Amino acid sequence: MSESVQLIPGNSLITATPQEGRELAIKMARLTIRVTQPDDEIRGKLRGIYAEDAAMLIAVGQTVATEFATIAAANNYWR
Amino acid sequence: MSESVQLIPGNSLITATPQEGRELAIKMARLTIRVTQPDDEIRGKLRGIYAEDAAMLIAVGQTVATEFATIAAANNYWR
Amino acid sequence: MSESVQLIPGNSLITATPQEGRELAIKMARLTIRVTQPDDEIRGKLRGIYAEDAAMLIAVGQTVATEFATIAAANNYWR
Amino acid sequence: MSESVQLIPGNSLITATPQEGRELAIKMARLTIRVTQPDDEIRGKLRGIYAEDAAMLIAVGQTVATEFATIAAANNYWR
Amino acid sequence: MSESVQLIPGNSLITATPQEGRELAIKMARLTIRVTQPDDEIRGKLRGIYAEDAAMLIAVGQTVATEFATIAAANNYWR
Amino acid sequence: MSESVQLIPGNSLITATPQEGRELAIKMARLTIRVTQPDDEIRGKLRGIYAEDAAMLIAVGQTVATEFATIAAANNYWR
């Protein structure tokens, strides 16, 4: 792993809207996987696996929920 | 995945009541799965699987609990 | 799923005591499962499975702990 | 399940010390399992299973950590 | 289980540095497992299992992360 | 395990940017695994396993998300 790869698009947790915060959460979750498995072909193959596996899709949802909790707090919940 | 798909209905975490906050948590959890697996037919098939699997139903509950924690904080717990 | 089903008894996170807060956490966790699997017979069958499975019982405990964290914060920890 | 069973010993999250808070976390985690599986004999059998299973012991630790987070916050971290 | 066994070394969440806080998190996670499985020989055997299992090592990391979150908050993040 | 091994690079949770905070989260997650399994060869072998396993990659992402939540809070979300 090269630590210089982008892990947080825009290098900020601040977003204009909850929707954008949610998109950031999804991207951050994906970038962790990319940095752990940098091979595009392998990741593509694994994506085909988890996208058709109910338990793994639920686990993806759990991770996104956790990332989003941080982003939402950073943005004072866009109140 | 198209990032332009709706991830948070109403683009807000603020709801009038805890019940509505809980409904939002459930919807947000589902929308993560939808964006990760956009094929309606496959999702329908997977839903039939997790809806009859005790461990997966518990995992769904864990994700909803995590989403709800964020929404509840955003709404100052509807105090 | 009909979004009109009750997801939070009393539509409030505020309870008089920690014990009542804990009971609410358990109920909320169950209601998520109910809304995801509305068929009483299937749920009854699944309950028989997870109630005799150590790993699933631990997972139920994890979900209840997460729900309770939110309820406890809502009640300022009943200090 | 009878909702009248004790779920939180002392009906309070406040403890004198971190050690007592940790003991409370462990008890709360156990009481969730007890209320979900009230049969003493079955629980005893399941305990024998998870106490010798590395993955389940780790999962127990995760639940206790989550319960403790709430109790520690309730006690202002015993600062 | 005897509740009198030590669950938190020093009976405090306050540490001088993040490093010490992290060490405490690891110890606390281990002590939960010890109190759940008090037999040294069995724990030793189980340690040999999870230390060579990728999924279990990741799960250990999740628990340590959760314990550390509490300790870090207790110490105001050593700011 | 020797407690003297480095668990938090720089012995601080404070970073200049979210990107650096994310890198720290990843390092902290890895150091927990290193201290639990100090053998470089075994860890290398296990890394080859989880890097090609979709479920384990998702679990790695969950742990990183949890570590990052703490780091983000420590840095007041780099607001």
> What pLDDT digit, counting tens, does each position of E33-67 carry?
999 999 999 999 999 999 999 999 999 999 999 99
Token reading at C6:
């009750």
Residue of E nearest to D48 (CA): E37
Q: How far apart are CA F22 and CA F38, in angstroms?
A: 23
Residue B16 distance to chain A (closest CA, Å)? 13
User: Within an 8 Å CB–CB cutoff, is residue D74 touching chain C?
Assistant: yes
Q: How far apart are CA A76 and CA F3, in angstroms?
A: 37
Residue of E nearest to D59 (CA): E59
F22 within domain boundaries: yes
D28 within domain boundaries: yes
* Measured CA distances, C47 to B57, C20, C30 (Å): 11, 23, 10
- Check contact E-C (3+ Cβ pairs < 8 Å): no
User: Taking CB atoms and an 8 Å limit, are D32 and C78 in contact across chains?
Assistant: no
Q: Give the three-state DSSP class for F24.
A: helix
Q: What is the pLDDT of residues D2-45, one digit of tens each?
A: 447 999 999 999 999 999 999 999 999 999 999 999 999 999 99
ipTM of the complex: 0.96
Structurally, chain D folds into a number of domains equal to 1
User: Of chain A residues 41-60, which have a CB less than 8 A from chain B?
Assistant: 50-55, 57-60
Interface test with D, best of E1, E5, E7 (most D CBs within 10 A): E7
B9 within domain boundaries: no
Cβ contact F34:F43 at 8 Å: yes
B61 within domain boundaries: yes
E56 within domain boundaries: yes
User: Within an 8 Å CB–CB cutoff, is residue C17 touching chain B?
Assistant: no
Token reading at E42:
């069995």
Q: Which range marks the domain in which residue B54 is found?
A: 16-78
User: Taking CB atoms and an 8 Å limit, are A36 and F17 in contact across chains?
Assistant: no
* Measured CA distances, F74 to B26, B72, F29 (Å): 30, 22, 17
Q: Note the Cα F17 to chain centre separation in Å.
A: 17
Amino acid type, B23: E
User: Within an 8 Å CB–CB cutoff, is residue D12 touching chain E?
Assistant: no
User: Taking CB atoms and an 8 Å limit, are E26 and F6 in contact across chains?
Assistant: no
Name the band, by pLDDT with cuts 50, 70 and 90, for residue B14: very high
| Predicted pLDDT at D42 | 98
C49 within domain boundaries: yes
Cβ contact B58:B50 at 8 Å: no
